[in-house]
Amino acid sequence: MEYMTGGSVREQILNYGALTEQLTKKYVRQIIDGLIYLHKSRFVHRDIKCKFNLYIEQKENMFFV
């Protein structure tokens, strides 16, 4: 697994406060795109949590873990 320098979404919110609307839109779009990809690949992710498996890299891109 790659090292995600941005930490989890939960850590970002605890450290810096609420996400801006623009950043929230970006993250939600990335989550939806990731779920579409998983579903097209015949996988289902049943336990998405910002504390454990949504991580951010340095460039503010989100990853499922």
Rounded Cα distance, 47 and 45, in Å: 6
47 is an active site residue: yes
Strand order in the sheet with 62-64: 7-8, 54-56, 62-64
Which residue in the list 16, 44, 47, 59 is annotated as catalytic?
A: 47
Phi, psi for residue 54 in degrees, rounded to 5: -120, 110
Q: 30 in helix, strand or coil?
A: helix
Catalytic residue annotation:
47
